[in-house]
A and B are shown apart, each in its own frame.
Chain A
């Protein structure tokens, strides 16, 4: 035995450790980390450190290339396992709703305010333009989306679009699914566009405000401002808020890239992007709620008072959830 190579003896002594680690990792990856017994789970970090130290020794003393390659691959695999999965999915979800989401949204209040101002500016601009000259209407609202809500319609026609089922041939569930996916896609888009120095995000948000303002102008000119408000705000509180947040996340990224401050551009983009990721997951959830409200609640609840009550309740819930300060997170 003492005649054989040192590096060979080293390997023979430690082989079992590496192979055990490999087997445990394979099991955890094939099935799930939960499929490991407590004993195995606790063994992994120790086995990982032993393998890592073997790698250091092997690099310094062994000239068997295959051995060093094997240990490098195994150590990296174990490293990602040990340092990658710290929390379970359930813990993550719980923490997300309790801390991460509201605190991220709170942290983006400046961008959210800017997005809100852009929406209002777009709304006001389109409103006054369409009131002064109705032919501007189709610059803001594509004819295919207007669905008969345009300046040429009579008051009765307009009224019927607010209270009747939107399209009797399309079932509510399909309609709700369509609204949700359509809006979510737009907001994801607003977020992704932010990387080009905020500009596309800002334009998209302003445009969103414009189409709203144009529609409002048409209904207002027929004295239907109040019913229109109820019709749009049932889901609009949630939906507009979500789109503003998506835009805010996009603005934050674009701003970080344009003005990184003390950080490097890459670091700044990374930090803003991670916060944006959290905000976006929240936005998708909000839009799902909005889609449900739009697809079902709006079609089933036709009294203005009830509609405004739902709108006020949703505004109260979202604002208190996001902006009421809570104790510092543990």
Chain B
């Protein structure tokens, strides 16, 4: 149990998502900057698509030497802009990945807050709200007015700003569309299965006593895991020296830092995992269980 509370304390962005099988997936919320980045990418794609379509039509009509190209272009800009503006986000978020290209690039996705299926009506509702949160403020920014009109526009901008910056003022980074649709945006990282650092690390040349292995806890073990994975010679030298002092390790003349660290890591992990099996989790070096 203590693990769960420490995890929540360490990262305020972790939320529990309990699957019907009863396992907490401990998902992580996307940050505001990731979401803004995703939005900018998507908007760039929208504009680029429209421009590309226009060029295609111009090219096709001039190649065929036909007239009426301007009519088709007008329809493309009217209908195309409308369809892209309203359905680009919806269509992509309806796919299995639940993310627009921009979101995919940033490694985030949309999910239902209750952990259920991300149904089409949720996605439509969350994107219909973009009208208020995104397009209306943009529209206001391009409205020219004078005197009283300018004041009204200014009021409009302030009013819109409430919606635009809404995600920054709540715990779950929900924008208005998320509230209305019951969704949130989560990190959806793709991780590869890294090699286990304990594999082929245990070395009969190193024999650690129980006292030496009781000096550290889980937290230090995981820091050590990171150091071993990074494989930075300088960092390894420093860490090896620290550990040697801490556990009173007499260094044989030709001992490599990496060998020592790997062996200590494997031994420490064996020791801590053994304790874990008996229900004892030594959190860190200060945790005297």
Q: Which residues of A come within 8 Å of B, CB atoms?
A: 3-8, 11, 15, 18-19, 22, 28-29, 32-33, 49, 52-53, 55-56, 59-67, 69-70, 72-77, 79-81, 83-86, 89, 92, 96, 100, 171, 173-174, 177-178, 180-181, 184-185, 188-189, 191-193, 195, 253, 266, 269-278, 280-281, 284
B176 within 8 A of A: yes
A85: chain B residues within 8 A (beta carbon): 96, 117
- Contact at B75–A177, with CB atoms within 8 Å? yes
B236: chain A residues within 8 A (beta carbon): none
Distance in Å: Cβ of B156 to nearest Cβ of chain A: 11
B244 within 8 A of A: no
- Contact at A270–B82, with CB atoms within 8 Å? no
B197 within 8 A of A: yes
B193: chain A residues within 8 A (beta carbon): 15, 18-19, 22, 67, 70
- Contact at A270–B179, with CB atoms within 8 Å? yes
Given contacts A80-B109, A181-B81, A188-B128, whether A274 and B136 have CB atoms under 8 Å apart is no
Given contacts A74-B191, A181-B78, A195-B176, whether A63 and B218 have CB atoms under 8 Å apart is yes
Q: What are 17 sample pairs from A and B whose C-beta atoms fall under 8 A apart?
A: A5-B266, A6-B277, A8-B198, A64-B198, A67-B196, A73-B190, A80-B111, A83-B117, A89-B94, A96-B120, A171-B71, A177-B79, A180-B82, A188-B128, A192-B136, A273-B125, A277-B121
**Beta-carbon contacts under 8 Å, B8-64 to A:** 17, 19-21, 23, 25-27
- Closest residue on chain B to residue A89 by CB atoms: B94
Partner of A177, one of B19, B27, B78, B118: B78
Partner of B131, one of A59, A89, A189: A189
Distance in Å: Cβ of B83 to nearest Cβ of chain A: 9
Q: Which residues of B come within 8 Å of A, CB atoms?
A: 3, 17, 19-21, 23, 25-27, 71, 74-75, 78-79, 81-82, 86, 94, 96-98, 109, 111, 113, 115-126, 128-132, 136, 176, 179-182, 186, 188-194, 196-199, 202, 218, 221-222, 225-226, 229, 266, 269-270, 272-273, 276-277
- Contact at B21–A33, with CB atoms within 8 Å? no
- Closest residue on chain A to residue B74 by CB atoms: A174
Distance in Å: Cβ of B50 to nearest Cβ of chain A: 13
Given contacts A32-B96, A67-B196, A72-B25, whether A276 and B180 have CB atoms under 8 Å apart is yes
- Contact at A66–B229, with CB atoms within 8 Å? yes
- Contact at B136–A173, with CB atoms within 8 Å? no
CA distance A72 to B28 in the complex (A): 11
Partner of B23, one of A52, A174, A189: A52
CA distance A73 to B17 in the complex (A): 13
How many pairs of A and B residues are in contact by the CB < 8 Å rule?
199
Partner of B192, one of A60, A70, A178, A192: A70
Distance in Å: Cβ of B61 to nearest Cβ of chain A: 14
- Contact at A77–B78, with CB atoms within 8 Å? no
Given contacts A5-B266, A192-B132, whether A64 and B225 have CB atoms under 8 Å apart is yes
Distance in Å: Cβ of A152 to nearest Cβ of chain B: 25
- Contact at B189–A73, with CB atoms within 8 Å? yes
Q: Which 3 A-B pairs have the closest CB atoms?
A: A273-B180, A277-B125, A270-B182
CA distance A49 to B23 in the complex (A): 10
- Closest residue on chain A to residue B176 by CB atoms: A195
Distance in Å: Cβ of A121 to nearest Cβ of chain B: 25
- Contact at B196–A76, with CB atoms within 8 Å? no
- Contact at B272–A63, with CB atoms within 8 Å? yes
CA distance A184 to B85 in the complex (A): 12
- Contact at B128–A276, with CB atoms within 8 Å? yes
Given contacts A273-B182, A278-B121, whether A60 and B128 have CB atoms under 8 Å apart is no
- Contact at B74–A49, with CB atoms within 8 Å? no
B25: chain A residues within 8 A (beta carbon): 72, 75-76, 79
Partner of B179, one of A56, A177, A269: A269
Distance in Å: Cβ of B159 to nearest Cβ of chain A: 8
CA distance A22 to B270 in the complex (A): 28
- Contact at B194–A70, with CB atoms within 8 Å? yes
The CB with the most chain B CB atoms within 10 A, among A18, A59, A62, A174, is that of A174
Given contacts A7-B273, A181-B78, whether A274 and B194 have CB atoms under 8 Å apart is no
- Contact at B118–A276, with CB atoms within 8 Å? no
B196: chain A residues within 8 A (beta carbon): 7-8, 11, 64, 66-67
- Contact at A193–B124, with CB atoms within 8 Å? no
- Contact at B124–A281, with CB atoms within 8 Å? yes
CA distance A285 to B20 in the complex (A): 36
A278: chain B residues within 8 A (beta carbon): 121, 124
